[in-house]
Amino acid sequence: MSASSRASFSGISGQATLAPADLLALVRDAFRRADYRTAWLLSDKLARSGGGADPLPFVLRASALARLGRAELSQRDLERAAFIDPFDRLTNDAIVASGEPAQRNKAFRRSIDAADRAPPGAVLNGLARLGKSILVRCDADDSGFSISGLSHHPVSVSLIGRSEQAEFALELQVDEPAHDQHSFSGVQHVPWRGEQAAVSLSCGNDLVFVHPPTVHRPNTATFRTRPSDAAPGPSDPGLLVVVPVYDDFEATRACFESLLANLPVADPVRIIAVDDTTPDRRIADLLDDLAGSGRIELIRNVINLGFAASVNRALDARRASEDVLLLNADTIVPPRAIARLRDIAEANARIGTVTPLSNNGEDTSVPCRFRSSPLGSNADVARLNELAWQANRRATITMPNGVGFCMLISARLLAHQPELPTAFGRGYFEDVAYCLAAQRLGFDNVCAAGVYVGHSGSRSFLDDKRSLVRRNLDRLKQQFPDYEAATDRFFRTDPLARFAARLEEAWLRQRSPFTLVLSSAEPDRQITALVTAGLGRAAADVVFARLEASADGPLLSIRGADRHMPQNLAVPIASDHADPLARLLFERAASTLVIDPHRLPPVAMELIRRTAGDKAALFLSHASDTTLPAAWADRFSRRYVTTGRLAAHFQRIGVDVALIGDPSRHAPAPRRVARTDMLYVLTEPAGEPVENLVRTIGGRLAAMTGAAPFTIAVLAEPRPERADQHVAWSGPMERAELPDWLALAGQGPCLFASRRYGVSDERIDLWSAAGIPVAYFDPDIEQLGNDGSRLALPAGMTDGDAAAALIRWMAGLAHPTGALGLVRRQQADRVENGV
């Protein structure tokens, strides 16, 4: 292998950690030398060691990957960088230079919106990459909107403006020399006309880039206040459901089907759908059909107004006594949910907004708090709504703000605040700003813990969400300086958690039979995938129970697989009795699988013995599980393993096991390449520490005369107390990343360093068959097994003996014949013997 096809570890060898500035200097030097593999390696370490908070390492790694012909991985890194900071100039410049057309346009728009604006020359260069030469930028304030042009040459730009009221023409002169003397600019201010809420601008000239295509009239300075005599009274109450619609036909159809089937019957209900210029003809036809049949009222925007302005058009049609339910078009409304929200709002005059629980409700999300969970079917949503009511009834929790995916606003509040603020453009945080303003008026925003509504998520915005959130959050904090502290306090104390746990307990009590997996630690993703796939169970049908210590004794922390129910339950178990819910957990399980039983205390065995009966089986993940307590070994005849290698090990020692899953799909072999100047050390998250072995090998390499024959690369998070010579640490790495990482670094010999798990790793056979030298610890042998490219080390071997054997093995790989190989092996022997 040539030097150019392998990455150099010299800059990070002997350095457990490096200051980011030092790593960055090494990266830049590698780029200057056109050593793109080393640039990739160093930027990769920078990305892994930085905690994912800085886009720069990912942009650098993307640049190196692009030069190495790995376009897919490069684009993935650019997407990650854009997620971290959508307005980072370097990130957006890189996407404009190399991305897909749609992504390039979005990146250029984000760069224009950034607070750190690029100079005119850089803007025009970005335009040129898009095949454009003239930029028209639009900005709005209370008095009107301004359009500013930028071009390399003097030009007159003809624009068409459209609003809900009219269409008009504008002429922008771009003829003033800019400060850099290499471009021209021009500005024109246009006052708002009448009740214009927004204006869209377009140009027939293909060389003109207009941003943004729609400007919104801000209304955040004050909320319009109705006179007190217009406040709602007790007569003719009603409900107005407002559904803004833009994209995602299937979700929109499902939303209206559930909504229309589950409207309350006690009071009059009107539904107004606002078509915000949907690009999907099917959605337009669906809304036409619903309006034509009289089931909804339809407002169709002439231009795309965004969420707030669309909602406000419907709110203008509200009757004085009507409450309002804001409803996203990607929600699933179960029976009785709307009526219960209204009942809760009417129960307390201080309540201004009510938001239900949801799988994807941000602050009201369950089971995963503050993040999304799987939606499930309509029947699942209906069942969870009824269980929430059984568990929590009319319980409410005061929150800093409601969440607009499904938010009921009382007529009392609407009398004071009849519209949403529109300063947030297309969307995000206008619902929060509305609720925070309501708080200032003395109203409460509450979560109805007894109501549950399904929500599939922000499909209409897709990958624009991050930039909209980042931009609008800054605006929100300027208007409401206390918002961040209030939300931090809500997140920290999480007053909703106990109500989420009540719902989950109710869910568990009526749950259909499931597979229960008991362990002493959080199973890693690979084990989870193998258990669910190997046992033929869907993720929703598997529940993990992790044994934890507490001041009051052991607890079972109960979690569903892949963010499914439950996520918030912790039940006590004790030596003399078990909590009724813990007993129920084992009794309801169709089968119980116990992972690594030797790590569990006797109380766990007793609980399973009394509740699980013959439904329990063992899951053995590594070789040392053969040392089971007699009670475990006698009780459970069924034992499962995940790899053929581990099954063979148990069969050799007379233990019957069954193989589950297809682990080979989790262990793809890397591309076959060869370098013998590196030994890659692979670790296991649940495995024993490898630092002492690594340090021992490094020390022996340092004691050898002349240049060390190889460097050790540990593919894990740096954990040593001191840096060791000839040792480099990659940073944390997922198993699925390894094949690509090793191929890019330059494949070399690999040590599977875990004495417990190493022998069971299917990659030993897969990679060895691909021609990659492998070393591993084997509990079935007492003597070294070395066939040249495959080194088996006795599991009981000391670190010193293992280090010596590995150094001799590496010398043989580098020089299988000849004098130099003999010299290296003799050096290793002398170091081992202290000569």
Angle among Cα 536, 762, 616 to the nearest 5 degrees reads 40
Q: Is pLDDT above 90 for 757?
A: no
Q: Look at 813 and 828; give whichever has higher pLDDT.
A: 813
Q: Let me know whether 144 and 245 are in one domain.
A: no
Of 83-92, 362-371, 520-529, 738-747, least confident by mean pLDDT is 520-529
Residue range 516-521: mean pLDDT, rounded: 80
| pLDDT value of position 752 | 95
Of 193-202, 660-669, 741-750, least confident by mean pLDDT is 660-669
Q: Let me know whether 266 and 201 are in one domain.
A: no
* Partner residues linked to 201 by β-bridges: 161
| pLDDT value of position 385 | 97
Average pLDDT, the chain: 85
> What per-residue string of b and e applies to 282-293 under the rule 16 or more CB within 10 Å gives b?
ebbebbeebbee
Q: Let me know whether 269 and 283 are in one domain.
A: yes
Of 433-447, 596-610, 697-711, least confident by mean pLDDT is 596-610
Q: Let me know whether 255 and 378 are in one domain.
A: yes
Q: Let me know whether 360 and 405 are in one domain.
A: yes
Question: Of the segments 207-216, 445-454, 532-541, which one has the largest average pLDDT value?
Answer: 445-454
Q: In what order do the strands lie in the sheet with 658-659?
A: 569-572, 555-560, 542-548, 514-519, 589-595, 616-619, 639-641, 658-659
Q: Is pLDDT above 80 for 147?
A: yes
| pLDDT value of position 482 | 92
Give 128-145 pLDDT, tens digit per residue.
999 999 999 999 888 999
In-domain check, residue 4? no
**Of the candidates 217, 246, 269, which is a domain's last residue?**
217
Q: How far apart are CA 534 and CA 517, in angstroms?
A: 13
Report the CATH number at residue 484: 3.90.550.10
In-domain check, residue 409? yes
Domain that holds residue 677: 667-832
In-domain check, residue 10? no
Give 451-503 pLDDT, tens digit per residue.
999 999 755 454 566 667 777 788 888 889 999 999 999 999 999 999 999 99
Report the CATH number at residue 189: 2.60.40.10
Q: Let me know whether 814 and 674 are in one domain.
A: yes
* Partner residues linked to 545 by β-bridges: 518, 558
| pLDDT value of position 630 | 63
| pLDDT value of position 465 | 67
Confidence of residue 835 (pLDDT cuts 50, 70, 90): very low
Give 311-367 pLDDT, tens digit per residue.
999 999 999 999 999 999 999 999 999 999 999 999 999 999 999 999 999 999 999
Q: How far apart are CA 87 and CA 71, in angstroms?
A: 22
In-domain check, residue 420? yes
How many folded domains does the chain comprise?
5
Q: Is pLDDT above 80 for 625?
A: no
Share of the chain above pLDDT 70, in %: 85
**Of the candidates 499, 527, 559, which is a domain's last residue?**
499
Question: Of the segments 5-9, 80-84, 238-242, 672-676, which one has the largest average pLDDT value?
Answer: 238-242
Q: Is pLDDT above 80 for 222?
A: no
In-domain check, residue 9? no
State residue 248 phi and psi, 5-degree precision: 75, 85
Share of the chain above pLDDT 90, in %: 49
Report the CATH number at residue 638: 3.40.50
pTM of the prediction?
0.83
Q: In what order do the strands lie in the sheet with 711-715?
A: 727-729, 711-715, 678-682, 750-752, 774-778, 790-794, 785-786
Q: Let me know whether 522 and 554 are in one domain.
A: yes
Q: Let me know whether 702 and 822 are in one domain.
A: yes
**Of the candidates 87, 118, 149, which is a domain's last residue?**
118
> CB-hemisphere CA count at 13 Å for 296?
26
Q: Is pLDDT above 50 for 824?
A: no
Q: Let me know whether 671 and 660 are in one domain.
A: no
In-domain check, residue 506? no
Give 541-588 pLDDT, tens digit per residue.
888 888 887 777 778 888 888 888 899 888 887 655 567 887 788 877
Residue range 606-614: mean pLDDT, rounded: 71
Q: Look at 11 and 215; give whichever has higher pLDDT.
A: 215
Q: How far apart are CA 421 and CA 146, in angstroms?
A: 20
Q: Is pLDDT above 50 for 819?
A: no
- Residue 113 C-alpha from the chain's centroid: 25
In-domain check, residue 201? yes
Confidence of residue 1 (pLDDT cuts 50, 70, 90): very low
Q: How far apart are CA 267 and CA 287, in angstroms?
A: 24
Give 428-444 pLDDT, tens digit per residue.
789 999 999 999 999 99
In-domain check, residue 772? yes
Alpha-helical runs (H) found in 130-182:
none
Q: Look at 348 and 217; give whichever has higher pLDDT.
A: 348
Q: Let me know whether 339 and 359 are in one domain.
A: yes
Q: Let me know whether 241 and 380 are in one domain.
A: yes
Tell me how far CA of residue 615 lies from CA of 529, 581, 596, 618, in angstroms.
21, 18, 17, 10
| pLDDT value of position 828 | 47
Q: Let me know whether 245 and 159 are in one domain.
A: no
> What per-residue string of b and e applies to 627-649 under the rule 16 or more CB within 10 Å gives b?
ebeeebeebbeebbbbbebbbeb
| pLDDT value of position 589 | 81
